Structure 1
Amino acid sequence: MIEIGQIIAVISWLFLITLFHLSLYPWIKEFLPRVAVPVSWTSGMILTALSTWYAVFCGLPPVFGLLPMVLAFICTVVFHKNGYYRDIPSEWRYYLLFLFVFFTMLIVRAYNPDINGAEKFMDHAFLASILRVPMVPPLDPWFAGGFLTMYYYFGHWMIATPAMMAGIPSNILFNLALPTIAALSAVNLYGTGHLVLKNGRLLPVLAFFMVNPYFIYLALTGTQSFTLLWDSSRVITNTINEYPLFSFLFGDVHAHVLGILAQSFLILMVTVAITCLGNGRKTHVLIILLTALGLSVTPVVNSWDVLIWAPMILATGIFLMLSECPVASIVKDLKALLHKIHNRIKNREEAWTLSPHAGAIYIFLVPVISILLVSPLLFGMHTQGIAGIGFVHTPTDIVEFIMVHGWFLAAFAFSFRKNLGRFPWILVAIIPFFFAGYLSAALAALFLVLAIQRRKGPADLLAAGGLAILLFCELFYLADNMGEIYYRMNTVFKLYIGAWMLCGTAAALMAGDELDAFITRYQGLKVRIIQCTFILLLSLCLIVPPVAVSTMHGPHTPTLDGMAWLMNSHKEDAEAIAFLRTLPGEHVIVEAAGDDYQYTSRVSSFTGIPTIVGWQFHEYMWRGNTPEGWYGVRGNDIRTIYENPDLTIPLMEQYKADLLYVGPEERLRYNISIPTRNLRELYKNRDVIIYQHDFSLDLPISGNAVTR
């Protein structure tokens, strides 16, 4: 059951993220009144997380990360005595949408709360590590002595930030994360619709939460409900084709899902740039700063996303420049901008003024500011990266392609129908792909050329970005260590959510534009009926698929405790882990090493206490062979610790391990032989004993722990 402590955690969580939002709301309301709620909500979340990271980076407690928010409130009182908070009741649609999506997804999580399966152990381990010992960089819970610099961890840090302030435990936080990402992203996309459309402002949100056509096909052909979700994300052969609703229902608090928030925010900010950039110099500066804030976190939340958004920001700047002036004057304008900067720095004679062309400033400053904002974090990361780029030799079957992207392709076909009739020569662009057998690439290329040719507004820019990703994935792949059969799996997997969001938002804006024109022609049309229809469709998207797949993890008593399942299936481990979660300070624990995606490394995963090695292949993907020769050695050392009492203590000291866990998994895998000297029983229940090495400090004993 959902206990009172869980309800308090939800209330505390909502209070804090709303506090982050309200601290920036008056300042953004002054310059971007139509989208002040979504912009301030997401930027407040990101800014607070960055402030907390920098506070810990400087050796301060995480709570110091609240200082920018506190200062913003103080400045609001001083400079905005009347404030803009009086306008909040008129923004009720944003808040209602947020609460509807948040609590709908929270109910989904309450009935599927288990931190079990897929990569949930890993995701929770990161959150638990950050909350247990907030430090920069965080400790790697699966590699004693290592840090999370080899993985883009900032999304987990961002989600952990409110939990640090409110004292929300990681097992509850895990099930608050995705409802929050979904709700804030929905608000961002509603803001995008609010800027562009008159009547169909919910359409971008609807596109965001739709299932793909293959889900519908499977449902209509009698596929069992518990396989609907999984099968709908494995459409294109030997790849993964996740879409946002799949990710939220599946429940992994993974980097590519956490990155959805920044991506939705950047979609909003690109739309803001195109529609609001001419509203004055202060508005121009604010848009640049906020866009840079969103762009800055993309490589540190999910590095794959920067491959989408760095080019998108460049394309937005070019779009703005082409909208303002002929191509011939762009180079001249950039030279003038650089000349002004040079004079300002060297002679301090010329006051800073904006270039006549806002796009030139935008394209120059957004990347620079974004790098400056996260440079210590960005340059402190040591991820594996990619091994190269290759050419796709197994193009996507056109039917599979349509089964993934069919909704958006249909909207593009309808929107571009007149342009294709007016410029049939555009069909020439697809001839090379057609004859080479790359039919899916041909379809993506056709709509891409049409979007670039029309260049009408934010919808065409977003469509061009999404279609460019799809075309790239049809022609190229980024090489990794996934083998020959799954050679393009990660490329498609990591880039397709961004493509879905860009194409989905673009298709929704195009459909909304057609709807606005239709309503204008037929004045008697009941707009309220249409708006209610969109609300109904959105409700169906958020209710029917979750109900259809509700059996995939089995029946549950509703709870937000992601570790509650342990008490039923691994009770002794659950009790021992609960004890370990109360231990203060830094520790290293020895536990059984095993295969990835199995019930191994469960102690480090659920406590955040680092172990010698966790899921070994995951660690190999992240850090390669650094430090040299670790792969295999660490697993063998764990076996030696359990089976050779003469080497138990020396090896524990080598890894600075002060805790030794002996439970059912360890007895199953090893012939346990523990030395009696230099170890004491810290905790004991029916099937678990936790030993402590004497070189560590004495710890408070609680429950049924065994003293000397």
Structure 2
Amino acid sequence: MEYGVVVRWWLLYQVLLVVGLPFASRVLPDAPDRGASLAMPAALVLVTVPTLWVGQYAFGTWVVVGVALAVLAASAWLARGGVEVDRRAYGEVVAVFSVAFAFLLALQAADQGVYPGGGEKFLDFGILQSLLRADRLPPQDMWFAGERLIYYYGGHLMAAVGALLTGTEGRYAYSPALAGFYAMAVTGAYGLASTIASARSGDDEPVRQSTALSVAGVAFAAALVALGVSWWVAIVPAAFAFAAVTQSRRVRAGVLGAFAFGFASNLVTPVRLLAAKVPVVRDAVAAAGIQPNRDPTTTPETFDMWHASRVVENGINEFPLFAYLNGDLHGHMMSVAVLFLVVGAGLAYYRTPEGERWRRRALVFGVLPVLAGTMLTVNTWSFPTVLGVTALSVALADARPASLFPVVDRYADRSLAVADEVQRVVVGVVVAGLVAVLAAAAVWPFVWNVLLVGASSRHPAFLPDPTRLGSFLLVHGLFLAAFAAYLVARVARDWRDWAIAGLAAVAAVAFGASFDLTVAGVGLDMVAVALAGPILGAAWLLRRRRTVGYEGVLVVAGAGLVILVEFAYLVDNALSGRFNTIFKVYAQVWALWSIPGGVALASLAARRPSADRLRSAAGTAFVVVLVVSASVYGGLALSNHFGSMDDASLDGFEDAHDRYPAQADAIEWLNDKPGQPHITSAPGLEPYTWQNPASSLTGIPTVAGWIQETIYRGDEAYWTRVSDLDILYETEDPVSRAVLLRKHDVEYVWVGPLERERWDVAEMADEPGIAPAYRNEEVTVYAVNETELVETRN
């Protein structure tokens, strides 16, 4: 285990916390932690955006250090009068981050490093390595030598910034960077949920320990009997729930929000475990519909961590624990910390009085564009969500949106409630549009060099195959149940209101299961509209009536996304239908909903002065059952993960050395070469397998890498290069080979098992300008001296 790397990166994040705090405290001055929970990603954004601009001309350690020192100087200037932060709140931020950071590092240490199967690790690691070798931005594409990367690389740039500031090799930087993104997101969820909850009056009393202990004990016993899991899989979350609900409202909300993002799963696993024991549940799951190749039942012995993320028939329904456990350093995982910064800025706007017009303008036209632009570079899929959160924050704040523009405000019609709501929405959308323009300007080099180049391969489409009732409930049921109970609790007067709400929920499920809408000859199931629609409408209405706070804005945002993808999606060349849209949007919904999820659960698990003990116990039981149910997956997955652990290491090359030792030795030799010399290797026509390991693990560009390059470059460009490689490796004509080596500016020719399997490799060692530079029992690497190659005619 590389403990020195761990310590350096942990210290880096603590420095980011200190540097980012003066900025974050200006945005959220009245938060209990003064914005400390968002200070780390704030500092990282402030370093990354200028680096993106400067990097167009030069990139490397000294550029990053120079930008970091400038940000440090700006932070010191802002903090010249001191930044008052409650010591306990600050300590909570450090503790939450440290626990989450250590947790994910433990997961990474138990894994086998960077490997091609089951995800995007070869892509992500290759981009990181390419950035660390680059002398300017964008870096060269490690799978398309000589061309710049056409991919959202902002998150990888953040990881590279951390690696350069800590002096960490890419092979060791991958894991602490991933752990940092995870821990920053968990910390952000904690801080935002606790800040939102602290603003509400009432619901302040924690549950009595006797009540919480009784409820947790019953839930533990019920889980053992109903699910058939090991005792510790149930007792640990039951104990966690007991500890959480007996805390103050602020801490309760923060802890449950962090849990909802960092460890909770959907309801697939507990329901399938229950279905294995209760036939009626099995029949109900089968009838409601999940992905056809998924059995409605499972057992602890047959549990597979992948199943819970693959129940939607035409999409991937990932949730954070699965994603981080799988261990990709991918955009939808790195972008959560930035998304939570957007939520923080939206919350700041929401809490700013109408009279402070210039502060509100600074937030929406100063802070949010920088964050939105950063999101463009980290995960372009999340950019519309950022604009949506912006529009909703403006539309649903108490301050009138039109007051941002005095000229417009003069003519605003507020005589009718409906007109006022429409005006709020229209102005919110206009503000979001302006933010989008300013965001593009903030990161224009990325927009010009990457976004506009690759945008032509994507277009919107409408009316996809809908999500079935069973899949929808299993994937979103955890949050839908929490929000429904919370919203009803805000307005319910007695048991009659709860009974009416229960009947309405049953009717909504029945409606979604039985009613189809036909549009343009296409049948649409109304599952999302029937189940998420009422949640959206109720949250909007109660927010406007000031019955709920900013948590209502986030509930609306998530519900809107869930409904939207049932009617529209983005077509790309990566996967058919709305497969990718479901994947990327559901990940954002989970992140957005984890914050109000913590607020809702904290409110439901509270002792109200006006409530009797039975009502308090019922709310507590509801929360504990949800926590235990959402934890079963994590218990089983962690047991399997650590059960297969070999050596604890953060080395990204571990899998290569374990499975392909001779090739790994050659990769190590190549990895020591500076810069980005071009190599040739067999094209990766079977992605997610051991293809193009040399370029993927070193960041040194190969002429034609994984076939995914057809998505970004087009078929003709990619297959022309593949044809060039066919000739280069097999031809007996030195002149033809020299032409192609010069064409692609090749410095090394890689000949390993994959190359010999694809081609009858010609003997080229005796040709001028080509000589063996490295050789072992499996791999030969030829060095190419272009000036000594045989002469060719122009």
- Flag whether TM exceeds 0.5 (same fold): yes
Q: In structure 1, what is the Cα distance between the partners aligned to 2:113 and 2:75? A: 42
Question: In the alignment, which residue of structure 2 is the partner of 1:210?
Answer: 264
- Indicate the residue corresponding to 1:457 in structure 2: 549
Name which of 534, 540, 560 aligns with 1:446. Answer: 534
Matches within 5 A, 1:364-513: 366-381=435-450, 382-384=453-455, 387-417=458-488, 434-436=515-517, 437-455=525-543, 456-481=548-573, 486-513=576-603
Post-superposition offset of 1:581: 0.8
Name the residue aligned to 1:239.
315
Contact 1:225 1:548 in 2 (8 A): no
Distance 2:410 2:693 in 1: 56
Query: How far is 1:156 from its partner?
Result: 0.9
Q: Confirm whether residue 173 of structure 1 aligns to residue 173 of structure 2.
A: yes
In structure 2, what is the Cα distance between the partners aligned to 1:497 and 1:27?
A: 28
| Cα shift at 1:607 | 0.9
Residues 389 and 540 (structure 1), Cα distance of their counterparts in 2 relative to 1, 3 Å cut:
closer
**Residues 99-138 of structure 1: matches in 2 within 5 Å?**
99-116=98-115, 117=117, 118-138=119-139
Greater shift, 68-77 or 556-565, is seen at 68-77
**1:20 is the counterpart of 2:74:** no
Does the 8 A contact of 2:317 with 2:475 survive in 1?
yes
- Per the alignment, do residues 681 and 7 of structure 1 end up closer, same or farther by CA in structure 2, a change over 3 Å counting? same
More displaced 10-residue stretch of structure 1: 416-425 or 152-161 = 416-425
Q: Distance in 2 between matches of 1:500 and 1:630?
A: 38
Paired residue for 1:701?
Answer: none
Superposed, 1:143-162 pairs within 5 Å as: 143-148=144-149, 150-162=150-162
Q: Are residues 1:309 and 2:378 paired?
A: no
Show the counterpart of 1:649: 738
Which range is displaced more, 295-304 or 689-698?
A: 689-698
Q: Gapped runs of 5+ residues in structure 1?
A: 339-357, 699-708
Q: Is the 8 A contact 1:53 1:65 kept in 2?
A: no
State the secondary structure of the residue aligned to 1:558: coil
1:272 equivalent in alignment to 2:348: yes
1:253 maps to 2:329: yes
How far off its partner does 1:668 sit? 2.0
Q: Is the 8 A contact 1:144 1:655 kept in 2?
A: yes
In the other structure, the counterpart of 1:164 is: 164
1:344 is aligned to none
Contact map agreement 2:269 2:633 (CA 8 A) in 1: no
The verdict on how the C-alpha distance between 1:537 and 1:215 changes in structure 2, with shifts beyond 3 A counting, is: closer
Structure 1 residue aligned with 2:718: 631
Equivalent position of 1:665 in the other structure = 754
Query: Does structure 2 retain, via aligned residues, the 8 Å contact 1:434–1:442?
Result: no
Aligned-pair CA distance for 1:128? 0.8
**Cα distance, 1:510 vs structure 2:** 2.5
Residues 52 and 206 of structure 1: CA distance in aligned 2, closer, same or farther (over 3 Å): same
Do the aligned partners of 1:241 and 1:493 also contact (CA within 8 Å) in 2? yes
Instruction: State the partner residue of 1:46.
Output: 45
**Is the contact made by 1:20 and 1:41 (CA closer than 8 Å) also made in structure 2?**
yes
Amino acid at match of 1:256: H
The 1:216–1:55 alpha-carbon spacing in structure 2 relative to 1, beyond 3 Å, is same
Percent identity at matched positions? 24
SS of the aligned residue for 1:324 comes to coil
Residue 108 of structure 1 contacts residue 546 of structure 1 at CA under 8 Å; is this kept in 2? no
- Aligned residue in 2 for 1:573: 663
Given that residues 194 and 599 in structure 2 are in contact (C-alpha distance below 8 angstroms), is that contact kept between their aligned partners in structure 1? no
2:367 equivalent to 1:290: yes
Q: What displacement does 1:10 show?
A: 1.9
**Native 8 Å contact 1:189 1:268 kept in 2:** no
Q: Structure 2 CA distance, aligned partners of 1:44 and 1:696?
A: 47
Instruction: Tell me how far 1:500 sits from its aligned partner.
Output: 1.4
The structural deviation recorded for 1:176 is: 1.6
Q: 2:421 maps to which residue?
A: none
Secondary structure, aligned partner of 1:518: coil
Distance 1:74 1:440, change over 3 A: closer
| Alpha-carbon distance in 2 for matches of 1:429, 1:571 | 55
Residues 221-279 of structure 1, C-alpha deviations (whole Å, 9 max, x = no match): 44466752211001111311111111101111112222222222222332232234669
Q: What's the TM-score, normalizing by structure 1?
A: 0.84
Distance 1:76 1:634, change over 3 A: closer
Question: Structure 1 pair 43/520, CA: closer, same or farther in 2 (3 Å)?
Answer: farther
| Cα distance, 1:88 vs structure 2 | 5.1
**Secondary structure of 2:306's aligned partner:** helix
* Residues 83-112 of structure 1 deviation map (CA, whole Å, 9 limit, x = unaligned): 337855651011000000010110001001
SS in 2 for 1:477: strand
Pairs aligned (count): 660
User: Residues 330 and 291 (structure 1 numbering): CA distance in 2 closer, same or farther, change over 3 Å?
Assistant: closer
Match of 1:681, SS state, is: strand
How many angstroms apart in 2 are the aligned matches of 1:303 and 1:471? 20
> Partners in 2 of 1:235 and 1:65 — Cα distance?
43
Partner of 2:90: 91
User: What code does the residue aligned with 1:666 have?
Assistant: E
Alpha-carbon distance between aligned partners in 2 of 1:564 and 1:60, rounded to the nearest angstrom:
29
For structure 2, the 5+ residue unaligned runs are 199-248, 277-297, 412-426, 518-524, 790-794
Residue type of the alignment partner of 2:46: L
Aligned partner of residue 43 in structure 2, secondary structure: helix
**Counterpart position of 2:652:** 562
Asked if the contact 1:31/1:283 (under 8 Å) is kept, the reply is no
Q: Flag the 1:89–1:630 CA change in 2: closer, same or farther, 3 A.
A: same
CA distance in 2, matches of 1:556, 1:93: 33
Counterpart of 1:98 in 2: which secondary structure?
helix
- Contact map agreement 1:24 1:69 (CA 8 A) in 2: no
The aligned amino acid for 2:327 is G
Shift of 1:165: 2.3
- Structure 1 CA distance for aligned equivalents of residues 81 and 718 of structure 2: 62
Tell me the SS of whatever aligns to 1:630. Answer: helix
| Shift of residue 521, structure 1, vs aligned partner | 5.1
Residue type of the alignment partner of 1:264: F
**Pair 448,359 (structure 1): closer, same or farther in 2 beyond 3 Å:** closer
Q: What is the SS of the residue equivalent to 2:311?
A: coil
Contact 1:226 1:551 (C-alpha < 8 Å) held by counterparts:
no
- Give the partner amino acid of 2:269: F
TM-superposed deviation, 1:399: 1.2
Deviation at 1:60, TM superposition (A): 5.6
1:585-638 deviation line (CA, Å, top 9, x unaligned): 33100111232111111110011110011111x11112324xxx2232222221
Query: Residue in 1 aligned with 2:705?
Result: 614
Q: How far apart, in 1, do the equivalents of 2:508 and 2:658 lie?
A: 63
Between stretches 98-107 and 677-686, larger displacement belongs to 677-686
Task: Tell me which residue corresponds to 1:695.
Answer: 786
Q: What's the offset of the Cα at 1:371? A: 3.0
- Change in Cα spacing, 1:441 to 1:571, as seen in structure 2 (3 Å) is same
Contact kept in structure 1, 2:266 and 2:474, CA below 8 Å: yes
Determine the C-alpha separation between the residues in 1 that align with 2:270 and 2:446: 42
One-letter code aligned to 1:555: M
Residues 93/282 of structure 1: CA separation in 2 closer, same or farther (3 Å cut): farther
**One-letter amino acid of the counterpart of residue 777, structure 2:** R
Return closer, same or farther for 1:598/1:31 CA change in 2, 3 Å cut-off: closer
Distance 1:641 1:452 in 2: 63
C-alpha separation in 2, matches of 1:306 and 1:78: 31
Report the TM-score, using the length of structure 2 for normalisation.
Answer: 0.76
